Structure 1
């Protein structure tokens, strides 16, 4: 599918952001963006910009967004989540104010198609539903099976249950992105007044400054701060609240956050390498330090 543009402004911005993330030259990133969007090369995109362009704000189908992101991830050897963040930030897919729920769905499908090969029934990566006495059922991802079953749930990276306490479907349930990986639980205030949103595991997610776009932070970064504020400090986090995710998304969007934090990239490591969030973040940092050179 070819994505039509009214001008080259957004593809140029996408290429620039991808170049920053990958240390690849701008010209090479432009070529990759053009090909991923259905053009022969950057010159072809430039010549056709403005022809048959969709009306402003017309969304690009999810399948096309997944395809473009997956191809650029492969060509630039960048995590699909980093590529998606760059493309959404550049508004490559049309929306002036991208819907975070839509971005979550695109990333979820990328996890299924790019990062996590299909799991066998009952094996790590397989999605089940809990049936623990006295608790509401919830979706869960099998992390390991060694006697008991270790699960990744929306709120936990290591919920241990007996095999009898899960429903193991014959047909795969849809993968989900655990809320714990993108729910802000508080904010640090830095010396210049900037706020840094952090997760339940005190991983930095977003730096917020007045008049500037939110800055996506690496989850292993150390943040020097002057004060700490916890959200829901009096009541704590009610992980079972049916509207918790919707409230988190609304709060993030109200602060200008329209993509997912780098912490979400821990999910494949948690499943493939059977580790918790802290260990997964350490491995992400090592992977970042030893990233391969991109394909020419």
Structure 2
């Protein structure tokens, strides 16, 4: 399927964003890969093709799924980085955070977990403990059974977990993307943090930056919690969640933080907490990077 654009602005920006993801990637290679996945023979054909205003509508989910994975394979980049790069270029048009959550969980099912099955890690099960009937990812079957809920990790007796006959919808746990609060730094910038107090985003002079979750943020002047503001202890639903989502929308943050990328590591046998997954992620993708001036490496997280 050929995807048309009213001009080359968005494809060009997408290529530039992709190059920023890897020091070894040439702009010409990004151009050619983009042209191919968008349905063109090469960048020259894309550049000279007739223009269309039909691309003002958002990408369909299937198109976005294909474009992200095909680009990641062609360029040798992590698919979460590709998803972020092309979204920031508005190649996906104005996708909401819900669109991005659905796309990420669909990619996990395809690339990480595979088809669900009884006793298979990554299968969505139902947590029946304490009268609940909530979906959760199966991390490890047995006695006890280890689960990943929307709000974090937990343990259940095997009889408290039910495998549904019809597979349940995949989801991205709120623990990995929903803000718990934000810090105001001495320089006036804001750093959004997760329920585990891991940094997700920094906002400075109107610019939004994704942060590595293994950073320790320095120079904190004030701390704000959405649940405290909403006068509740419940942070992942209700008024606190609404406040957090409104905060993201007002700052035009519709993409997902790097913390979400720990998800595949949370199913490894030696991972017992979100922070353990962060350590694994840094080993895979962030080792050797120099922290920004306002941060340092979080020594409370185990690396290696």
Other structure's SS at 2:234 match: coil
Other structure's SS at 1:40 match: coil
> 1:59 aligns to what?
58
> 1:227 aligns to what?
221
- Residue 81 in 1 paired to residue 75 in 2? no
For 2:255 and 2:104, the matched residues in 1 are separated by 9
> 1:92 aligns to what?
91
Q: Is the 8 A contact 2:5 2:55 kept in 1?
A: no
Give the CA RMSD over aligned residues.
2.1
For 2:268 and 2:167, the matched residues in 1 are separated by 18
- Residue 118 in 1 paired to residue 112 in 2? no
Q: Give the TM-score taking structure 2 as reference length.
A: 0.86
Is the alpha carbon distance of 1:245 and 1:189 closer, same or farther for their aligned partners in structure 2, counting shifts above 3 Å? closer
Is the alpha carbon distance of 1:290 and 1:44 closer, same or farther for their aligned partners in structure 2, counting shifts above 3 Å? farther
> 1:294 aligns to what?
none
In the TM superposition, 1:207-246 aligns within 5 A as 207-212=202-207, 214-231=208-225, 232-233=227-228, 235-239=231-235, 241=237, 245=241
> 1:104 aligns to what?
101
Q: How many Å apart are 1:229 and its aligned residue?
A: 1.1
Q: How many Å apart are 1:289 and its aligned residue?
A: 4.2
- Residue 3 in 1 paired to residue 22 in 2? no
Residue deviations 1:68-105 (CA, integer Å, cap 9, x gap): 0011112222222111111111000223xx31111211
Q: Structure 2 residue aligned with 1:194, among 179, 189, 197?
A: 189
For 2:269 and 2:53, the matched residues in 1 are separated by 44
Greater shift, 266-275 or 3-12, is seen at 266-275
> 2:299 aligns to what?
none
> 1:167 aligns to what?
162
Is the alpha carbon distance of 1:28 and 1:240 closer, same or farther for their aligned partners in structure 2, counting shifts above 3 Å? closer
Is the alpha carbon distance of 1:38 and 1:62 closer, same or farther for their aligned partners in structure 2, counting shifts above 3 Å? same
Q: How many Å apart are 1:228 and its aligned residue?
A: 3.8
Can you give the 5+ residue segments of structure 2 that lack an aligned partner in the other structure?
A: 289-304
Can you give the 5+ residue segments of structure 1 that lack an aligned partner in the other structure?
A: 292-296
Residue deviations 1:21-58 (CA, integer Å, cap 9, x gap): 122111111111111111111111101151x34153x1
For 1:211 and 1:240, the matched residues in 2 are separated by 26
The one of the two structures with greater contact order (alpha-carbon pairs below 8 A, sep at least 6) is 1
Q: How many Å apart are 1:211 and its aligned residue?
A: 2.7
For 1:170 and 1:274, the matched residues in 2 are separated by 30
